[in-house]
Amino acid sequence: MPTPRHRPRRTLVAILVPLAAAACAPAAAQVVDSEEYRFRVVTVARGLEHPWGIAFLPGGDMLVTEREGRVRLIRGGALQAAPVAGAPEVAARGQGGLLDIELHPRFAENRFVYLTYSKPGAQGATTALARARWDGTRLTDLQDLFVADAWRRTGAHFGSRIVFDRGGMVYVSVGEGNLKQPAQALDNHFGKVVRLHDDGRVPRDNPFVGRAGAKPEIWSYGHRNPQGMALHPTTGELWANEHGARGGDEINRVLPGRNYGWPAITHGVDYSGARISPDTALPGMEQPRLHWTPSIAPSGLAFYTGDKFPRWRGHTFTGAMAGEHLRRVVFEGDRPTHQERLLRGRARIRAVKVGPDGFLYLLTDASDGAVLRLEPAEGGR
């Protein structure tokens, strides 16, 4: 925090009255000029400890996960003081903790809420997918639907995002624990995207079902640490971004049974500067649709599908934590044609999501993290 400036002595009343008025007044919104729009950055809520995922409840309320293991409720536009009861016990160390949150596509009927988290156990911790019911004030009937065979003693690289496809299947990304080589093996869940029925059962048409020595939940492999996933609004295909090491961050079109190369191929080097692989391409391994060197540390991924910013419709947005900005990417098919950096230096952006109101929502990764909303500004283009 900045050092407070010296202020002259005043009476206690003279100090407290302006402070009380300021506490009641809404925070001023920042106005930003971008290539396509002038927009406002509105702070919906702050005081969140490393918020990670956000889900929009019917009626305008929101559920937000904090990495330390809490689910928070924003009700009527205000962050409720008490955490939501019923969250799972998490291994909150390093990058681990309570991660993503998503509602079932038929939430209005079944009230199901899905959570990913780093599950503690005798072997350390792993990524797990849990399901609970929302009763309006708390989570009930919590149960694990999937516990990844990706146990590690470290707190590194858990993933993890949740996406439902148009057929109701659920996808979960699992990081490779910074262990590299297991991402290339099919006998574990390190560095994988898995696909499940909404109750955790394995779909019979998964690409490795019935293959000896392969985990049947696997949809794709050879990933490093995917922390953003979204469905393409036109094709319905799954797209994901993932962290490289020092460079080599990627956006991928995630297709069934495909190998995305880590660590056999990469466009980055290790944090020490050591070479991870001499190859950036090998037969049978997918190339990213886009890669970044130096790293921007991408987290969160959304295709804009709302009506508030029509010229952004179909564009891809990803948070950049190392770069502290929001990255807009224009694709023609699966080829990137243009990029723009928005909100430069604003914050480490952990999550990006389009709200049901058509606005774009962001989570900032900080001990005093915030939910931000992007809205068109008056006089905007």
- CA–CA distance, 283 with 173 (Å, rounded to integer): 24
Decide: 319 and 300 in contact? Cβ < 8 Å: yes
- Cβ density class 204-237: b for 16+ within 10 Å, e for less: eebbbeeeeebbbbbbbbbbbbbbbbbbeeeeee
Concerning whether 157 is annotated as a catalytic residue, the answer is yes
What are the counts of helices (DSSP H) followed by strands (DSSP E) for the chain?
Answer: 2, 25
* Residue with tokens 């205000």, as numbered in its chain: 78
Q: Which one of the listed residues 50, 104, 157, 325 is annotated catalytic?
A: 157
Decide: 242 and 193 in contact? Cβ < 8 Å: no
Cross-strand bridge partners of residue 240: 229, 252
- CA–CA distance, 162 with 169 (Å, rounded to integer): 10
Give yes or no for a cis peptide into 233 (omega within 30° of 0). no
Give yes or no for a cis peptide into 294 (omega within 30° of 0). yes
CB-side neighbour CA atoms (13 Å) of 79: 22
Residue 331: alpha-carbon gap to chain centroid: 20
Decide: 81 and 73 in contact? Cβ < 8 Å: no
CB-side neighbour CA atoms (13 Å) of 180: 10
Phi then psi for 91, rounded to 5 degrees? -90, 90
Sequential DSSP letters for 37-51: -EEEEEEEEEEESSE
Q: Beta strand 226-231 with 290-292: parallel, antiparallel or unpaired?
A: unpaired
Phi then psi for 17, rounded to 5 degrees? -65, -50
Query: Which region holds residue 47: left if phi is over 0, alpha if psi is between -120 and 50, else beta?
Result: left
| Residue 319, both tokens | 């948070």
Phi then psi for 107, rounded to 5 degrees? -55, -35
Catalytic residues: 157
